């Protein structure tokens, strides 16, 4: 099914959101969800600083940092599809609360290991793997929660993006402060506290039912589970724009984002210290706030085309670090990259949430996330060996060039660049 055809699956869900303004977004329940996402993001953006500084402090290198990050990404990408089926059959709110509580325990355990000075790589990777499993259960429910809380879906996604970006702005700076004046264990303890706060907000949330009873379990047992899994796959592959983006995103994760995250963290921490890395990551967060604000105001008819154009802005981030430029130049590149990525993220999330029927949205989102992240652990695991063979700077410059190729690839696929938003008026 092409992108133009798929808008009729949802009808006018989210239509009129632009005119409805703030009332179409804000409510008590959306505010709770907003806080939950912001606080969880605050902790997540503190984690790379803690891992890089903590593992380097205990004698590990870039490869260990990459493996620690990859353990979480691998578990998440490998299991999120099953999490999507579960989310379409059970209460998404309860699943998200349970996942937050699991991560509260695991990050508290990690904090204890770093406080005690007993840091073994396989234990950190095992904790990361458990976090990835919990994330795989949590993430599918996010997709269906936004449309159930707000009529203006793009506005809601923009608001959540701004909240997460503001957290990203503060998180690395807080983590750098805690690492510099306390220890990496303090960052892990703070990360655990963010999951406790998220779970509390979700516990207080009143989530309205899906339209027409969508999301109820269609049967019990493994046969019904497999049938749901297959149905989700058929819905996914019937949309060329959807699987086309995911196919391109696999390249992005291997060549761009996978290596950029651990190598930028390691390079900046080693050359300039954890506080400088906190500053660069905060600049990335500031840029994503700007991108979220732009997504609140701009409502392009062809959302994915506009989002793909914004991805060209990512080039400057890995290029500045790879070229060995100073902290101000790296921060500027990070800010511009953040704006582009944030705008793309809102365009993409809104397209998925408005073009896909509610009864399969969690499963489609799970396939989306799994496909998007499937190659991320590969890129992260290869980051260390590639940096050892070619040099960190050269690998980051290659990643910068690959980011341009990804944006071009998205624009050359007709089903992606010509997808019309679901609430666009007929011409």
Domain CATH code at residue 151: 1.20.1250.20
Q: Residue 90: which of 206, 215, 208 has the closest Cα? A: 215
- 424: in domain: no
Which residues touch 389 (CB under 8 Å, ≥6 apart)?
Answer: none
Total domains in the fold of the chain:
1
Domain range for residue 151?
3-12+20-210+219-417
pLDDT at 26: 82
Alpha helices in 90-120 (DSSP H): 92-116
Distances (CA, A) of 373 to 46, 158, 247, 253: 20, 22, 11, 7
Q: What are phi and psi of 393, to 5 degrees?
A: -60, -40
Query: Which of 23, 350, 29 lies closest to 208, judged by CA?
Result: 29
Q: For residues 24 and 19, what is the distance between their CA atoms, to the nearest angstrom? A: 9
Element holding 309 (H helix, E strand): helix 303-310
Whether residue 427 lies inside any domain: the answer is: no
Element (H, E) at 63: helix 62-89
Q: Which two three-digit tokens encode residue 397?
A: 């410059």
Q: Is residue 392 one of the residues assigned to a domain?
A: yes
Within a domain: 269 = yes
CA distance 277 to 172: 7
- CA-to-CA dists, residue 361 to 4, 84, 271, 349, 420, angstroms: 18, 8, 44, 11, 19
Print pLDDT tens along the chain (427 aa).
Answer: 333 333 333 333 443 333 334 447 788 888 899 999 888 888 888 887 778 877 877 777 777 877 887 788 778 877 777 777 777 667 788 888 999 999 999 999 988 888 888 878 888 889 989 988 888 888 888 877 888 888 888 888 888 888 887 877 777 777 877 777 767 888 888 889 999 999 999 999 887 766 544 444 445 556 666 777 777 778 888 889 988 998 898 889 888 988 888 888 888 888 888 788 878 877 887 898 899 899 888 889 999 999 999 999 999 999 999 888 888 999 999 999 999 999 999 999 889 888 888 777 777 777 777 777 777 778 877 887 888 888 888 899 999 999 999 999 999 999 999 999 887 655 5
**pLDDT value, residue 318:** 92
pLDDT value of position 6? 37
Q: Is residue 124 part of a domain?
A: yes
Question: Residue 27 falls within a domain, yes or no?
Answer: yes
Q: What is the pLDDT of residue 310?
A: 95
103 domain-assigned: yes
pLDDT at position 20: 39
Residue 241, domain member (yes or no): yes
What is the pLDDT at residue 334? 93
Instruction: Residue count of the chain, please give it.
Output: 427
Taking the CA atoms of 326, 331, 336 and 341 in sequence, report the sign of the dihedral they define. positive
Q: In sequence order, what are the residues at sequence separation of 6 or more whose Cβ sits closer than 8 angstroms to the Cβ of residue 36? A: 197, 198, 201, 202, 205
Within 8 A by CB and 6+ apart from 206, the residues are 29
């Amino acid at each position: 099914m092409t992108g133009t055809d798929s808008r009729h699956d949802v009808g006018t869900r989210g239509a009129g959101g632009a005119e409805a303004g703030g009332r179409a977004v804000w409510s008590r329940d959306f505010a709770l969800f907003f806080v939950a996402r912001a606080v969880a993001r605050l902790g997540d953006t503190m984690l790379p600083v803690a891992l890089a500084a903590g593992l380097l402090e205990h004698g590990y290198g870039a490869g260990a940092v990459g493996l620690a990050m990859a353990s979480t990404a691998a578990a998440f990408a490998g299991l999120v599809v099953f999490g999507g089926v579960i989310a379409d059959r059970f209460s998404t709110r309860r699943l998200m609360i349970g996942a937050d509580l699991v991560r509260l325990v695991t990050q508290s355990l990690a904090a204890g290991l770093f406080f005690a000075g007993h840091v073994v790589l396989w234990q950190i990777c095992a904790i990361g793997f458990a976090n990835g499993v919990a994330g795989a259960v949590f993430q599918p429910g996010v997709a269906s929660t936004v449309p159930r809380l707000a009529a203006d879906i793009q506005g809601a996604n923009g608001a959540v993006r701004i909240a997460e970006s503001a957290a990203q702005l503060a998180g690395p700076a807080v983590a750098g402060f805690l690492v510099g004046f306390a220890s990496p264990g303090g960052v892990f303890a703070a990360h655990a506290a963010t999951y406790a706060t998220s779970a509390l907000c979700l516990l207080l949330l009143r989530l309205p039912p899906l339209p027409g009873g969508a999301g109820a379990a269609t049967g019990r047992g493994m046969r019904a589970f497999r049938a749901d899994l297959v149905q989700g796959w058929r819905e996914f592959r019937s949309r060329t724009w959807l699987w086309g983006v995911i196919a391109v995103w696999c390249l992005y994760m291997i060549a761009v984002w996978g290596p950029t995250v651990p190598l930028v963290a390691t390079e900046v921490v080693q050359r300039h210290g954890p506080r400088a890395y906190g500053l660069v990551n905060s600049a990335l967060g500031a840029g994503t706030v700007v991108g979220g604000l732009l997504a609140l105001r701009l409502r392009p008819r062809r959302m994915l085309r506009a989002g793909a154009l914004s991805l060209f802005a990512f080039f400057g981030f890995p290029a500045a670090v790879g070229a060995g430029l100073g902290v101000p130049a790296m921060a500027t590149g990070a800010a511009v990259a953040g704006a582009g990525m944030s705008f793309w993220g809102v365009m993409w999330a809104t397209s998925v949430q408005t073009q896909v029927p509610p009864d399969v949205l969690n499963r489609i989102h799970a396939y989306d996330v799994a496909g998007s992240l499937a190659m991320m652990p590969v890129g992260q695991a290869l980051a260390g060996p590639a940096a050892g063979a070619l040099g960190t700077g050269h690998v980051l410059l290659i990643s910068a060039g690959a980011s341009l190729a990804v944006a071009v690839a998205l624009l050359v696929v007709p089903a992606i660049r010509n997808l019309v938003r679901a609430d666009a008026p007929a011409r």
